């Protein structure tokens, strides 16, 4: 992929209790962010990553790293090259091909514009497995404004101990280790070995297998991820952490460990967050099915930056800011990505809204549980006021992370529509289908068959597309929805409702973008009575009694231009 100069603004709108239109804005920082994803080059499409093994030594004093990455891959198309991504500030010392006994054979390599091109001695054929070992190191890019512009995060605790993290959703994990930087290829398993100076503790993905005390005053923390994981979700958090331990009983019946790695000065505050997290888990499980990673853990790590949905180790940096209901919007939002983003993953960033739009809908749906339906409607109405409608929420062409975060055509202005507009599209779909079919579709999007809800060996994790969600919603509702998805997701403009009062009649007509079909039914309130009118051809005439007030779409269910 192309690394390029770009100052950017990322807008995230989250409907949260007490603040239904939370906005975070990142101004032009004068930095060089990189993108992730986009069209997959043939040399990378030629192989399927099966596992990563990363052995990384972190030197906080020098803000440097030194590591060895071993990638195991299955060749799916003949290739003479093995191409991986690695950020230019990091240098490569050597590359080797390992045989079945682990013996290395040195390979030639070169660096080209953020990619590492490795030459096999002979063309590898379909069906062959390869193990490539890369020794590298240097000073990784420092994140100027994590998590929106990524890299390493070098911070300090209150007593000046190192507090380290990594955030790279927009940029990709190639900011800190060699990787195939594309969402379509998740490693089935990942072994992580992090060596840090004492008294630092490393919290990471998956399960902690062991901790080794070394003679040089360091410790090595060995973690293992047994479920497929997107490369931007692989992370490390290092600080003189203390742990808060609890348990959660899933709807599946499994009792899961809940562990919060918290800096010592915030230990007492952390217990309240763990209690809230267990409430959030129950909410998500009620609607979406069991917590996906029951074979590993429910993990939280306190960070110096706001947060990120790192799989099984949520990064939390909201400073325990609970509202009057005891609600922490950041913890709720990132935890929900264990379903939308980690369980269900977009294979191309063009479907990024399956992560952010779906979870933003859940953010607002939680208002309904906290404060009732009126709060839910208020949250959705607030979202409608923030939309840009500059580009499709789910374009059909391949996209990078930057293209989906930024507004076309220049990609230098923020575009939060994959968040807010995605949420409101689901809100409108809820109205169209009714609660029972809609929530059935939502659960089947998380777990397509009930049998998958019982899986914990990695087969529950899957890639998904917007087209797949359309099919699931059509099956749940027994209704064709191609017109709905075409208008709301495949192009940016909103339909407009035209109304005209003629005596004792109200004439309503939809004007849709580029004359697309739009048979959206409409609710009309006349006096104290509300009725839903079908509009199969986009028009309807409603009888209105003289003197009675009329309100069209009184609950603001429908996403429209007016």
Each residue's pLDDT tens digit, 436-446 = 999 999 999 99
Whether 16 shows a pLDDT value over 90: the answer reads no
Q: Based on the domain organization, do 372 and 482 belong to the same domain?
A: yes
The answer for residues whose C-beta is within 8 angstroms of residue 440's C-beta and 6 or more apart is 476
- The answer to whether residue 61 is domain-embedded is yes
Which carries the bigger pLDDT value, residue 201 or residue 145?
A: 201
Q: Indicate yes or no: pTM above 0.85.
A: yes
What pLDDT does residue 546 have?
85
DSSP state of 495: P
Q: What is the distance between the alpha carbons of residues 3 and 414, in angstroms, rounded to a whole number?
A: 19
Look over the chain and give the mean of its residue pLDDT values, rounded to a whole number: 93
- pLDDT band (50, 70, 90) for residue 542: very high
Residues 228 and 251 in one domain: no
Please check whether residue 508 lies inside any domain of the structure.
yes
Among candidate residues 492, 525, 543, the one where a domain is terminated: 492
* CATH number, domain with residue 324: 1.10.390.10
Is residue 65 over pLDDT 90?
yes
Domain final residue pick, 240, 255, 282: 240
**Least confident residue range of 9-13, 261-265, 303-307, 391-395:** 9-13
Eight-state DSSP code of residue 266: G
Domain check: are 382 and 512 in the same one?
Answer: no
pLDDT in tens, 17-45: 334 333 333 333 334 357 899 999 999 99
Provide the domain count of the chain. 3
Same domain? For 265 and 357 the reply is: yes
Stretch (H or E) spanning 423? helix 420-433
Give the pair of three-digit tokens for residue 346. 């977009």
Q: Helix 435-446 to helix 267-288 angle, to the nearest 10 degrees?
A: 110
Q: Which residues on adjacent β-strands are paired with residue 132?
A: 71, 97
CA-nearest of 469, 475, 436, 229 to 358 is 469
Over the stretch 129-140, which tens digit does the pLDDT of each residue have? 999 999 999 999
For residue 455, is it within any domain? Answer: yes
Rounded to 5°, the CA angle 200-136-186 comes to 80
Q: What is the pLDDT of residue 438?
A: 98
Q: What is the mean pLDDT of residues 211-231?
A: 98
Residue 514 belongs to a domain: yes
What contacts 151, CB < 8 A, 6 or more positions away?
140, 141, 142, 143, 144, 166, 167, 168, 171, 175, 176
Q: Are residues 80 and 109 in the same domain?
A: yes
Which pLDDT band, with edges at 50, 70 and 90, does 344 fall under?
very high
Q: Of 492, 516, 542, at which residue does a domain stop?
A: 492
Task: Determine the pLDDT at residue 10.
Answer: 30
User: For the residues 101-106, what does the mean pLDDT come to?
Assistant: 96
Q: What is the pLDDT of residue 211?
A: 98
Task: Return the structure tokens found at 469.
Answer: 């969600």
- Note the pLDDT of residue 413: 66
Q: Which residue has the higher pLDDT, 147 or 123?
A: 123
CATH code: domain of residue 163 = 2.60.40.1730
Residue 6: pLDDT over 50 = no
Average pLDDT, integer, range 64-91: 98
Locate 239 and state its tokens.
Answer: 């600080």
* CA–CA separation, 47 and 79 (whole Å): 8
Statement: residue 283 has pLDDT above 70: yes
Please tell me whether residues 176 and 319 are part of one structural domain: no
Tell whether 231 and 273 lie within a shared domain. no
In a shared domain, residues 276 and 356: yes
Residues 265 and 396 grouped into a single domain: yes
Phi, psi angles (nearest 5°) of residue 333: -65, -50
What's the confidence (pLDDT) of residue 308?
97
Q: 558 in a domain, yes or no?
A: no
Residue 23: which domain range? Answer: 1-32+247-492
Rounded to whole angstroms, how far apart are CA atoms 439 and 286? Answer: 10
Predicted pLDDT of residue 153: 97
pLDDT at position 33 is 52
Query: What does the pLDDT average to over 238-261?
Result: 98
Query: Residue 562: inside a domain, yes or no?
Result: no
> Is 27 inside a domain boundary?
yes
Four-point Cα dihedral 397, 403, 408, 409, nearest 10: -90
Using CA atoms, how far apart are residues 276 and 454, in angstroms rounded to an integer? 25
Residue 73 lies in a domain: yes
């Amino acid at each position: 992929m192309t690394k390029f100069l770009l100052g950017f603004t990322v807008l995230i709108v989250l409907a949260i209790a007490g603040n239904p239109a939370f906005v975070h804005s990142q101004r032009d920082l004068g930095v060089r962010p990189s993108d992730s994803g986009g069209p997959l080059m043939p040399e990378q499409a030629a192989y399927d990553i099966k596992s990563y093994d990363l052995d990384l030594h972190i030197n906080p004093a020098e803000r440097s790293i030194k590591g060895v990455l071993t990638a195991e891959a299955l060749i799916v198309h003949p290739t003479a090259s093995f191409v991986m991504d690695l950020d230019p500030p990091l240098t490569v010392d050597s590359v080797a091909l390992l045989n079945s006994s682990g013996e290395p054979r040195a390979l030639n390599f070169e660096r080209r514009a953020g990619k590492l091109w490795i030459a096999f001695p002979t063309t590898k054929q379909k069906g062959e497995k390869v193990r490539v070992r890369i020794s590298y190191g240097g000073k990784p890019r420092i994140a100027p404004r994590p998590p929106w512009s990524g890299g390493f995060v070098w911070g300090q605790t209150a007593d000046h101990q190192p507090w380290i993290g990594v955030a790279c959703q927009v940029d990709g994990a190639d900011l800190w280790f060699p990787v195939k930087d594309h969402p379509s290829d998740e490693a089935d398993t990942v072994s992580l070995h992090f060596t840090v100076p004492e008294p630092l503790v490393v919290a990471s993905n998956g399960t902690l297998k062991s901790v080794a005390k070394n003679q040089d005053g360091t410790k090595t923390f060995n973690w293992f991820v047994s479920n497929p994981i997107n490369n931007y979700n692989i992370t490390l958090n290092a600080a003189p952490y203390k742990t808060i331990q609890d348990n959660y009983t899933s709807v599946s019946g499994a009792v899961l460990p809940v562990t919060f790695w918290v800096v010592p000065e915030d230990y007492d505050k952390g217990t309240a967050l763990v209690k809230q997290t267990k409430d959030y888990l129950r909410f998500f499980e009620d609607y979406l099915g069991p917590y996906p990673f029951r074979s590993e853990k429910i993990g939280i790590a306190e960070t110096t930056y706001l947060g990120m949905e790192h799989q099984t180790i949520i990064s939390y940096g909201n400073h325990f800011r609970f509202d009057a209901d005891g609600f922490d919007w950041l913890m709720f939002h990132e935890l929900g990505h264990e379903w939308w983003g980690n369980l269900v993953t977009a294979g191309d960033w063009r479907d990024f809204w399956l992560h952010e739009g779906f979870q933003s809908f859940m953010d607002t749906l939680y208002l309904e549980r906290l404060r009732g339906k009126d709060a839910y409607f208020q949250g959705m109405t607030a979202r409608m006021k923030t939309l840009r409608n500059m580009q499709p929420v789910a374009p059909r062409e391949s996209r990078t992370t930057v293209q989906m975060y930024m507004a076309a055509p220049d990609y230098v202005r923020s575009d939060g529509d994959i968040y807010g507009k995605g949420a409101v599209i689901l809100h409108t779909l809820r109205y169209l289908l009714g609660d029972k079919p809609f929530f059935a579709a939502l659960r089947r999007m998380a777990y397509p068959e009930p049998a998958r809800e019982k899986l914990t060996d990695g087969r529950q994790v899957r890639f998904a597309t917007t087209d797949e969600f359309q099919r699931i919603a059509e099956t749940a509702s027994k209704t064709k929805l191609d017109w709905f998805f075409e208008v709301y997701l495949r192009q940016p403009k909103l339909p407009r409702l035209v109304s005209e009062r003629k005596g004792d009649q109200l004439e309503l007509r939809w004007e849709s973008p580029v004359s697309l079909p739009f048979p959206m039914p409409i609710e009309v309130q006349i006096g104290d009575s509300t009725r839903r009118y079908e509009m199969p051809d986009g028009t309807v005439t409603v009888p209105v009694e003289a003197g009675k007030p009329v309100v069209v779409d009184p609950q603001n269910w429908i996403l429209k231009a007016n």
